[in-house]
Amino acid sequence: MNLDDIDLLASTWGREEPHEMFALLRRDAPVFRHREPDGDSFWAITKHADVLAISRDSDTFSSELGGTFIDTQTDEMLAKSRLSILNMDPPKHHQLRRLVSKGFTPRMITRLQDTIDKRAQRIIDDVIDRGECEFVEDIAAKLPLEMICEMIGLPEADWPRMFELSNKLIGFDDPEYQASPEEGELAAIEIFTYCDRIANDRRSDPRDDIMSALVHAEVDGERLDDLELNLFFVTLVVAGNETTRNLINHSMLALMQHPEEVAKLRAEPEHWTTAVEEMLRWGTSIHNFRRTATRDTELRGQRIAAGDKVVMYYMSANRDEDVFVDPMRFDVTRQPNDHVTFGGGGVHYCLGANLARSEIKAVMQQIVQRFDDVRPAGAPRRLHSDFVNGIKAMPISFDARPAERA
């Protein structure tokens, strides 16, 4: 393989991650001008240090100018996408982030911990006697969505509908999920309506939940208006759902491929904290986020012009030989583990990182403690997307561990 063979766009996804291409880029062209089919191009960034530097310099690398997706957006699309916190630059970003962070305090996540653990247990209760299941739908997809619904305060009977809506909203490149733009908008409107109802309720009758924290949050006399609240919840559905689901999928795949690491976790459960970080590094469920250069600049000798697209490849950064010892090895005791799965730091660092960590740990602990000899019951089907590193379906079979059978 040489640099002429590099193609990181959708045509190559839907299969295993292109580790060989990433390794070549890190070695020979860490700031690589990548062509797009429409004649446009972007800079593909594959080294860990560069992902950190770009993420932490939002003056030079904007999320707002061209949005955070690789594809060039029309002005109309951009105007809409800039209503989401992900596609805002400071100072606008700062104001909104200060308000919404009020819903994600460590206290709030600690309070949710009990619910997370109980729900994870129930999800496994539902499949343990069957000996086989479709892992994505029956296990991985459940907890992240349940927790978002729980946080919004939706009645449990409406959760399946929320699941459908969230799939429509995301509209991947994958034909199986492809929703028309109209369908996506209708899904958003339905979510907005739900959200309005719950927000109104919590304004007059606050509870100890994230919605109450958000509607009452005030910074310097400012509050979130209805539109901001709505858009924030759509962002949560998009940002918090697929990402965590796929991280759990990849963690399961990793444990099936590395039974010795499962044995280690059973024998020495004190490794769970490092294990979750390794699952995050290994699974890297978002392929990339994009920035747009606000001025001419230079990176590793390459001249980046104002207006150029700059795309950070998190999976590549997470396998960078300069940062990780033996990076292609899955090691639940790995320490240090400075992965960039939640972004490279800076103002957009993932707001749901601790929630995601708790969810991943709760589900994977249940599996390690209660399942024996988990094995594939068919090949996993990968998602066609140049944004989400996804698995759509992964049939597995397993035995219940002796304690369960007793």
Nearer to ligand HEM, 128 or 351 (CB): 351
Q: How far is the CB of 197 from ligand HEM (least distance, A)?
A: 20
Q: How far is the CB of 405 from ligand HEM (least distance, A)?
A: 32
Nearer to ligand HEM, 55 or 366 (CB): 55
**How many other C-beta atoms can be found within 10 angstroms of the C-beta atom of residue 49?**
15
Nearer to ligand HEM, 100 or 265 (CB): 100
Binding site for ligand HEM (CB under 6 A): 55, 63, 68, 85-86, 97, 148, 235-236, 239-240, 243-244, 247, 285-286, 289, 341-343, 348, 350-352, 355-356
- Dihedral angle, C-alpha 290, 292, 298, 303, nearest 10 °: 100
Q: How far is the CB of 158 from ligand HEM (least distance, A)?
A: 18
In DSSP terms, 316 is beta-bridged to none
Q: How far is the CB of 165 from ligand HEM (least distance, A)?
A: 16
What spatial distance separates the first Cα and last Cα of the chain, rounded to whole Å?
54
Nearer to ligand HEM, 24 or 202 (CB): 202
Q: How far is the CB of 54 from ligand HEM (least distance, A)?
A: 9
9, 25 Cβ separation under 8 angstroms: no
248, 360 Cβ separation under 8 angstroms: yes
Nearer to ligand HEM, 23 or 96 (CB): 96
Q: How far is the CB of 364 from ligand HEM (least distance, A)?
A: 12
DSSP 266-331: HH-GGGHHHHHHHHHHHH--B-EEEEEESS-EEETTEEEPTT-EEEEEHHHHTT-TTTSSSTTS--
List, in order, residues 6 or more apart from 68 with CB less than 8 Å away.
81, 86, 87, 289, 290, 291
Q: What is the DSSP letter of 219?
A: B
In DSSP terms, 134 is beta-bridged to 395
Nearer to ligand HEM, 29 or 350 (CB): 350
* Residue nearest to ligand HEM as judged by C-beta position: 352
Backbone angles phi, psi at 160, to 5 degrees: -60, -35
Nearer to ligand HEM, 63 or 166 (CB): 63
Q: How far is the CB of 85 from ligand HEM (least distance, A)?
A: 4
